[in-house]
A and B are shown apart, each in its own frame.
Chain A
Amino acid sequence: MKSLFQIKMVLLLIVATGFVARAQDSRIQMGSLDHLAAKASQTVDVNIDGRLMAIAAKALSDHDADEKQVKKLVAGIKGIYVKSFEFDSDGQYSAADIESIRTQLRAPGWSRLVNVTSKKEGVIEVYLLLNGEQIGGLAVLSTDDKELTVVNIVGPVDLEKLAKLEGQLGIPELGIEAKPKTKNDEQ
Protein backbone atom coordinates (compact mmCIF):
# COMPACT_ATOMS: atom_id res chain seq x y z
CA MET A 1 0.00 0.00 0.00
CA LYS A 2 2.78 2.31 0.98
CA SER A 3 4.80 1.48 -2.12
CA LEU A 4 1.74 2.14 -4.30
CA PHE A 5 1.44 5.59 -2.78
CA GLN A 6 5.12 6.23 -3.42
CA ILE A 7 4.76 5.17 -7.05
CA LYS A 8 1.79 7.50 -7.44
CA MET A 9 3.75 10.35 -5.95
CA VAL A 10 6.71 9.74 -8.26
CA LEU A 11 4.38 9.63 -11.28
CA LEU A 12 2.73 12.84 -10.16
CA LEU A 13 6.13 14.45 -9.78
CA ILE A 14 7.16 13.35 -13.26
CA VAL A 15 3.94 14.69 -14.78
CA ALA A 16 4.29 17.97 -12.88
CA THR A 17 7.91 18.29 -13.96
CA GLY A 18 6.80 17.73 -17.53
CA PHE A 19 4.25 20.51 -17.28
CA VAL A 20 6.80 22.85 -15.75
CA ALA A 21 9.31 22.00 -18.46
CA ARG A 22 6.71 22.67 -21.12
CA ALA A 23 5.82 25.99 -19.57
CA GLN A 24 9.48 26.93 -19.44
CA ASP A 25 9.96 25.94 -23.04
CA SER A 26 7.92 28.86 -24.26
CA ARG A 27 10.30 31.28 -22.54
CA ILE A 28 12.74 32.76 -25.02
CA GLN A 29 16.16 33.79 -23.85
CA MET A 30 16.77 37.35 -24.99
CA GLY A 31 19.98 38.01 -23.11
CA SER A 32 21.94 37.90 -26.37
CA LEU A 33 20.29 41.19 -27.37
CA ASP A 34 21.36 43.11 -24.28
CA HIS A 35 24.45 44.54 -25.95
CA LEU A 36 22.18 46.47 -28.33
CA ALA A 37 21.03 48.71 -25.49
CA ALA A 38 24.28 50.65 -25.74
CA LYS A 39 23.63 51.43 -29.40
CA ALA A 40 19.91 52.07 -29.13
CA SER A 41 18.38 55.50 -28.85
CA GLN A 42 15.52 53.99 -26.91
CA THR A 43 15.21 50.66 -25.18
CA VAL A 44 12.16 49.03 -23.69
CA ASP A 45 12.94 46.09 -21.46
CA VAL A 46 10.04 44.43 -19.68
CA ASN A 47 10.48 41.28 -17.64
CA ILE A 48 7.36 40.12 -15.88
CA ASP A 49 7.77 36.68 -14.38
CA GLY A 50 5.13 34.64 -12.62
CA ARG A 51 5.66 36.42 -9.33
CA LEU A 52 5.35 39.89 -10.81
CA MET A 53 2.38 38.74 -12.85
CA ALA A 54 0.59 37.71 -9.67
CA ILE A 55 1.47 41.03 -8.04
CA ALA A 56 0.28 42.99 -11.06
CA ALA A 57 -2.94 41.01 -11.13
CA LYS A 58 -3.61 42.14 -7.56
CA ALA A 59 -3.37 45.74 -8.70
CA LEU A 60 -5.90 45.23 -11.47
CA SER A 61 -9.34 46.40 -10.52
CA ASP A 62 -12.46 44.33 -10.91
CA HIS A 63 -14.56 47.46 -11.21
CA ASP A 64 -12.83 48.93 -14.22
CA ALA A 65 -14.05 47.24 -17.40
CA ASP A 66 -10.71 47.48 -19.19
CA GLU A 67 -8.73 46.23 -16.23
CA LYS A 68 -11.21 43.42 -15.70
CA GLN A 69 -10.63 42.42 -19.29
CA VAL A 70 -6.87 42.51 -18.80
CA LYS A 71 -7.19 40.49 -15.61
CA LYS A 72 -9.07 37.78 -17.48
CA LEU A 73 -6.54 37.82 -20.27
CA VAL A 74 -3.51 37.43 -18.03
CA ALA A 75 -5.13 34.88 -15.73
CA GLY A 76 -3.21 31.92 -17.12
CA ILE A 77 -0.13 33.75 -18.34
CA LYS A 78 3.08 32.87 -16.55
CA GLY A 79 5.28 35.63 -17.86
CA ILE A 80 5.67 38.43 -20.38
CA TYR A 81 9.04 39.50 -21.68
CA VAL A 82 9.69 42.34 -24.09
CA LYS A 83 12.84 43.78 -25.54
CA SER A 84 12.55 46.61 -27.97
CA PHE A 85 15.39 48.67 -29.35
CA GLU A 86 15.05 51.75 -31.49
CA PHE A 87 18.10 53.07 -33.26
CA ASP A 88 19.00 56.41 -34.78
CA SER A 89 20.69 54.87 -37.76
CA ASP A 90 20.46 51.72 -39.86
CA GLY A 91 22.46 48.56 -39.39
CA GLN A 92 22.93 48.72 -35.65
CA TYR A 93 21.92 45.12 -35.12
CA SER A 94 23.17 42.11 -36.99
CA ALA A 95 21.52 39.10 -38.56
CA ALA A 96 23.12 37.02 -35.82
CA ASP A 97 21.16 38.96 -33.23
CA ILE A 98 17.89 38.04 -34.91
CA GLU A 99 19.09 34.51 -35.53
CA SER A 100 19.72 34.00 -31.82
CA ILE A 101 15.98 34.47 -31.30
CA ARG A 102 14.84 32.60 -34.40
CA THR A 103 16.93 29.56 -33.45
CA GLN A 104 14.92 29.20 -30.26
CA LEU A 105 11.69 29.54 -32.17
CA ARG A 106 12.64 26.65 -34.41
CA ALA A 107 12.39 24.32 -31.42
CA PRO A 108 9.67 21.64 -31.47
CA GLY A 109 6.26 22.95 -30.61
CA TRP A 110 6.71 26.41 -32.05
CA SER A 111 4.77 27.32 -35.19
CA ARG A 112 5.25 30.40 -37.28
CA LEU A 113 1.81 31.86 -37.71
CA VAL A 114 2.73 34.97 -39.67
CA ASN A 115 5.82 36.08 -41.48
CA VAL A 116 5.51 39.29 -43.42
CA THR A 117 8.57 40.72 -45.10
CA SER A 118 8.57 44.18 -46.55
CA LYS A 119 11.56 46.11 -47.84
CA LYS A 120 10.16 49.35 -46.50
CA GLU A 121 8.59 48.19 -43.27
CA GLY A 122 10.86 45.31 -42.37
CA VAL A 123 9.88 41.90 -41.11
CA ILE A 124 7.27 40.83 -38.63
CA GLU A 125 6.93 37.25 -37.49
CA VAL A 126 4.39 35.79 -35.11
CA TYR A 127 5.08 32.43 -33.51
CA LEU A 128 2.86 30.24 -31.36
CA LEU A 129 3.81 27.42 -29.07
CA LEU A 130 1.08 24.85 -29.36
CA ASN A 131 0.37 22.24 -26.72
CA GLY A 132 -2.09 20.14 -28.65
CA GLU A 133 -4.77 22.62 -29.59
CA GLN A 134 -4.00 25.00 -26.78
CA ILE A 135 -1.66 27.95 -27.14
CA GLY A 136 1.20 27.59 -24.67
CA GLY A 137 3.11 30.69 -25.64
CA LEU A 138 3.48 33.51 -28.10
CA ALA A 139 6.47 35.21 -29.64
CA VAL A 140 6.55 38.22 -31.92
CA LEU A 141 9.70 39.25 -33.71
CA SER A 142 9.51 42.59 -35.41
CA THR A 143 12.40 44.19 -37.20
CA ASP A 144 13.01 47.06 -39.52
CA ASP A 145 16.03 49.17 -40.36
CA LYS A 146 15.95 51.09 -37.11
CA GLU A 147 14.03 48.85 -34.78
CA LEU A 148 14.22 45.42 -33.26
CA THR A 149 11.42 44.17 -31.02
CA VAL A 150 10.88 40.79 -29.44
CA VAL A 151 7.75 40.01 -27.44
CA ASN A 152 7.40 36.74 -25.60
CA ILE A 153 4.33 35.66 -23.68
CA VAL A 154 4.65 32.47 -21.64
CA GLY A 155 1.47 30.54 -21.04
CA PRO A 156 -1.94 30.33 -22.65
CA VAL A 157 -3.03 33.53 -24.31
CA ASP A 158 -6.15 34.53 -26.20
CA LEU A 159 -4.83 36.19 -29.35
CA GLU A 160 -8.12 37.77 -30.27
CA LYS A 161 -8.54 39.42 -26.89
CA LEU A 162 -4.90 40.48 -26.88
CA ALA A 163 -5.21 42.11 -30.27
CA LYS A 164 -8.31 43.98 -29.11
CA LEU A 165 -6.45 45.50 -26.19
CA GLU A 166 -4.60 48.02 -28.31
CA GLY A 167 -5.98 51.45 -27.71
CA GLN A 168 -8.09 50.32 -24.78
CA LEU A 169 -5.55 50.42 -22.03
CA GLY A 170 -5.12 54.15 -21.83
CA ILE A 171 -1.39 53.85 -22.23
CA PRO A 172 0.08 56.58 -24.34
CA GLU A 173 2.09 55.97 -27.46
CA LEU A 174 5.71 55.24 -26.72
CA GLY A 175 6.86 56.13 -30.16
CA ILE A 176 8.21 52.67 -30.69
CA GLU A 177 6.29 52.24 -33.89
CA ALA A 178 8.33 53.60 -36.73
CA LYS A 179 5.25 54.61 -38.60
CA PRO A 180 2.58 56.61 -36.81
CA LYS A 181 -0.94 55.32 -37.04
CA THR A 182 -3.22 56.93 -39.55
CA LYS A 183 -6.97 57.22 -39.40
CA ASN A 184 -7.27 54.50 -42.00
CA ASP A 185 -5.21 52.20 -39.86
CA GLU A 186 -7.38 52.71 -36.86
CA GLN A 187 -10.49 51.89 -38.85
Chain B
Amino acid sequence: MNEDYLWDKSGQPDPQIQELEEILGTLRYQPKPLVIPRGLAVSRRRNYFPLLAIAATVLLALLAAGVWVQMRNNSKSQPQQAKVPPAVDEKKIPSPALAITEPTPVNKPIVRERTFAANNKRRNRTASPSLGKREQEEALAAKEQLMLALRLASEKLNLAHRKTQNTTPAQIKNQHRIG
Protein backbone atom coordinates (compact mmCIF):
# COMPACT_ATOMS: atom_id res chain seq x y z
CA MET B 1 0.00 0.00 0.00
CA ASN B 2 1.24 3.34 -0.96
CA GLU B 3 0.72 5.62 1.99
CA ASP B 4 1.51 8.67 -0.09
CA TYR B 5 -2.06 8.71 -1.24
CA LEU B 6 -3.24 9.43 2.32
CA TRP B 7 -0.92 12.40 2.49
CA ASP B 8 -1.10 14.07 -0.87
CA LYS B 9 -3.29 11.82 -3.06
CA SER B 10 -0.25 10.65 -5.06
CA GLY B 11 0.47 7.05 -5.94
CA GLN B 12 -1.96 4.12 -6.09
CA PRO B 13 -5.05 4.45 -3.85
CA ASP B 14 -6.28 1.64 -1.68
CA PRO B 15 -9.76 0.33 -2.70
CA GLN B 16 -11.04 0.49 0.87
CA ILE B 17 -9.87 4.04 1.25
CA GLN B 18 -11.51 4.91 -2.04
CA GLU B 19 -14.76 3.40 -0.81
CA LEU B 20 -14.57 5.38 2.42
CA GLU B 21 -13.88 8.50 0.40
CA GLU B 22 -17.00 8.00 -1.64
CA ILE B 23 -19.11 7.36 1.45
CA LEU B 24 -17.83 10.38 3.36
CA GLY B 25 -17.65 12.54 0.23
CA THR B 26 -21.36 13.25 0.44
CA LEU B 27 -20.67 15.16 3.63
CA ARG B 28 -18.03 17.27 1.94
CA TYR B 29 -18.38 21.10 2.15
CA GLN B 30 -20.57 22.37 -0.63
CA PRO B 31 -20.12 26.13 -1.32
CA LYS B 32 -23.56 27.85 -1.70
CA PRO B 33 -24.92 31.39 -0.95
CA LEU B 34 -26.30 32.14 2.49
CA VAL B 35 -30.09 32.19 2.57
CA ILE B 36 -31.71 34.00 5.55
CA PRO B 37 -35.25 32.96 6.36
CA ARG B 38 -37.80 35.73 5.90
CA GLY B 39 -39.50 35.50 9.25
CA LEU B 40 -36.29 35.75 11.18
CA ALA B 41 -36.25 38.93 13.39
CA VAL B 42 -32.89 40.46 13.72
CA SER B 43 -32.40 41.79 17.22
CA ARG B 44 -30.29 44.91 17.26
CA ARG B 45 -28.68 46.44 20.30
CA ARG B 46 -30.19 49.93 20.85
CA ASN B 47 -28.03 52.99 21.38
CA TYR B 48 -29.51 54.98 24.25
CA PHE B 49 -26.69 57.48 24.53
CA PRO B 50 -28.30 60.43 22.68
CA LEU B 51 -31.56 60.07 24.65
CA LEU B 52 -29.68 59.95 27.90
CA ALA B 53 -27.68 63.01 26.92
CA ILE B 54 -30.85 64.96 26.09
CA ALA B 55 -32.52 63.90 29.32
CA ALA B 56 -29.49 64.92 31.33
CA THR B 57 -29.36 68.32 29.63
CA VAL B 58 -33.05 68.96 30.30
CA LEU B 59 -32.62 67.88 33.89
CA LEU B 60 -29.67 70.19 34.35
CA ALA B 61 -31.54 73.07 32.77
CA LEU B 62 -34.52 72.51 35.07
CA LEU B 63 -32.25 72.31 38.06
CA ALA B 64 -30.50 75.53 37.10
CA ALA B 65 -33.84 77.28 36.54
CA GLY B 66 -35.09 76.11 39.92
CA VAL B 67 -31.98 77.39 41.68
CA TRP B 68 -32.24 80.72 39.87
CA VAL B 69 -35.91 81.16 40.78
CA GLN B 70 -35.20 80.32 44.39
CA MET B 71 -32.30 82.75 44.53
CA ARG B 72 -34.47 85.43 42.98
CA ASN B 73 -37.26 84.83 45.48
CA ASN B 74 -34.80 84.92 48.33
CA SER B 75 -33.40 88.23 47.19
CA LYS B 76 -36.95 89.64 46.96
CA SER B 77 -38.08 88.48 50.34
CA GLN B 78 -34.98 89.72 52.06
CA PRO B 79 -35.93 92.54 54.41
CA GLN B 80 -34.85 95.76 52.80
CA GLN B 81 -32.98 98.27 54.77
CA ALA B 82 -35.09 101.27 55.56
CA LYS B 83 -34.19 103.91 53.10
CA VAL B 84 -34.56 107.51 54.00
CA PRO B 85 -36.00 109.09 50.91
CA PRO B 86 -34.27 112.17 49.66
CA ALA B 87 -35.98 115.40 50.47
CA VAL B 88 -38.96 115.40 48.16
CA ASP B 89 -39.39 118.57 46.25
CA GLU B 90 -43.02 119.49 46.71
CA LYS B 91 -43.07 120.74 43.16
CA LYS B 92 -42.34 117.25 41.88
CA ILE B 93 -45.20 115.56 43.69
CA PRO B 94 -47.67 114.58 41.00
CA SER B 95 -51.06 116.07 41.44
CA PRO B 96 -53.38 114.12 39.16
CA ALA B 97 -56.43 116.29 39.35
CA LEU B 98 -54.98 119.62 40.34
CA ALA B 99 -53.44 121.98 37.91
CA ILE B 100 -52.60 125.58 38.45
CA THR B 101 -51.56 126.75 35.07
CA GLU B 102 -50.14 129.89 33.66
CA PRO B 103 -49.95 130.45 29.95
CA THR B 104 -46.64 130.87 28.19
CA PRO B 105 -46.07 133.93 26.00
CA VAL B 106 -47.44 131.97 23.04
CA ASN B 107 -50.58 131.19 25.04
CA LYS B 108 -49.78 127.53 25.50
CA PRO B 109 -50.59 126.66 29.09
CA ILE B 110 -47.92 124.81 30.99
CA VAL B 111 -48.74 123.00 34.17
CA ARG B 112 -47.06 124.48 37.17
CA GLU B 113 -47.77 122.92 40.50
CA ARG B 114 -47.78 125.26 43.39
CA THR B 115 -45.56 124.86 46.36
CA PHE B 116 -47.54 125.01 49.51
CA ALA B 117 -46.35 126.79 52.57
CA ALA B 118 -43.95 125.28 55.01
CA ASN B 119 -46.58 125.18 57.71
CA ASN B 120 -48.43 122.72 55.58
CA LYS B 121 -45.51 120.32 55.35
CA ARG B 122 -46.07 118.92 58.80
CA ARG B 123 -49.66 118.20 57.95
CA ASN B 124 -48.69 116.67 54.66
CA ARG B 125 -46.61 114.01 56.38
CA THR B 126 -49.49 112.65 58.41
CA ALA B 127 -50.68 110.11 55.89
CA SER B 128 -51.39 106.72 57.38
CA PRO B 129 -48.17 104.70 57.73
CA SER B 130 -50.04 101.60 56.63
CA LEU B 131 -50.27 103.03 53.10
CA GLY B 132 -47.64 102.24 50.52
CA LYS B 133 -45.24 104.91 49.37
CA ARG B 134 -47.08 105.51 46.14
CA GLU B 135 -50.46 105.47 47.86
CA GLN B 136 -49.12 107.84 50.45
CA GLU B 137 -47.99 110.28 47.78
CA GLU B 138 -51.35 110.01 46.09
CA ALA B 139 -53.12 110.54 49.39
CA LEU B 140 -51.03 113.60 50.16
CA ALA B 141 -51.66 115.05 46.71
CA ALA B 142 -55.38 114.40 47.11
CA LYS B 143 -55.29 115.98 50.53
CA GLU B 144 -53.61 119.09 49.16
CA GLN B 145 -56.26 119.36 46.49
CA LEU B 146 -58.98 118.83 49.06
CA MET B 147 -57.56 121.55 51.29
CA LEU B 148 -57.25 123.92 48.35
CA ALA B 149 -60.79 123.22 47.19
CA LEU B 150 -62.23 123.59 50.68
CA ARG B 151 -60.35 126.79 51.22
CA LEU B 152 -61.62 128.19 47.94
CA ALA B 153 -65.17 127.12 48.74
CA SER B 154 -64.90 128.56 52.21
CA GLU B 155 -63.41 131.78 50.87
CA LYS B 156 -66.16 132.21 48.33
CA LEU B 157 -68.86 131.50 50.90
CA ASN B 158 -67.40 134.07 53.22
CA LEU B 159 -67.06 136.51 50.36
CA ALA B 160 -70.74 136.03 49.60
CA HIS B 161 -71.53 136.49 53.26
CA ARG B 162 -69.43 139.66 53.48
CA LYS B 163 -71.01 141.04 50.37
CA THR B 164 -74.49 140.43 51.68
CA GLN B 165 -73.49 142.20 54.89
CA ASN B 166 -71.94 145.17 53.15
CA THR B 167 -74.37 145.66 50.31
CA THR B 168 -77.65 147.44 50.08
CA PRO B 169 -80.80 145.33 49.82
CA ALA B 170 -81.13 146.41 46.20
CA GLN B 171 -77.88 144.66 45.36
CA ILE B 172 -79.11 141.38 46.78
CA LYS B 173 -81.26 140.44 43.85
CA ASN B 174 -83.03 137.43 45.17
CA GLN B 175 -82.86 134.52 47.53
CA HIS B 176 -85.65 132.50 46.10
CA ARG B 177 -85.96 128.98 44.93
CA ILE B 178 -85.34 128.57 41.24
CA GLY B 179 -85.82 124.90 40.52
Question: What residues of chain A have their CB less than 8 Å away from a CB belonging to chain B?
Answer: 37-49, 52-53, 55-56, 58-61, 63-64, 66-67, 70, 73-74, 80-82, 84, 105-118, 121, 124-127, 138, 140, 142, 149, 151, 153, 159, 162-166, 169-172, 174, 176-177, 185
Most chain A CB within a 10 A radius of its CB, from B103, B128, B142: B142
Q: Which residue of A lies closest to B98 (CB)?
A: A46
List B135-174 residues whose CB lies under 8 Å from chain A.
Answer: 135-136, 138-140, 142-143, 145-164, 167, 171-174
User: How far, in angstroms, from A58 to B179 measured CA to CA in the complex?
Assistant: 36
| Residues on B with beta carbons closer than 8 Å to the beta carbon of A64 | 123, 126
Min CB distance A184 to B, Å, is 10
Choice from A37, A82, A111, A114 contacting B177 with Cβ under 8 Å = A111
B contacts, CB < 8 Å to A? 96-103, 107-109, 114, 116-117, 119-120, 123-124, 126-128, 131, 135-136, 138-140, 142-143, 145-164, 167, 171-179
**Chain B's nearest CB lies how many Å from the CB of A106?**
6
Among B100, B153, B160, residue most surrounded by chain A Cβ atoms (within 10 Å): B153
With A60-B143, A110-B179 as known contacts, state yes or no: A43 contacts B100, CB within 8 Å: yes
**For the complex, what is the distance from the CA of A162 to the CA of B108, rounded to whole Å?**
35
Asked if B101 contacts A37 (CB within 8 A), the reply is yes
Asked if A38 and B103 sit within 8 Å, CB to CB, the answer is yes
Asked if B123 and A140 sit within 8 Å, CB to CB, the answer is: no
Q: Do A165 and B159 touch (CB < 8 A)?
A: no
Known: A59-B128, A67-B126, A171-B120. A151 touches B153 (CB 8 A): yes
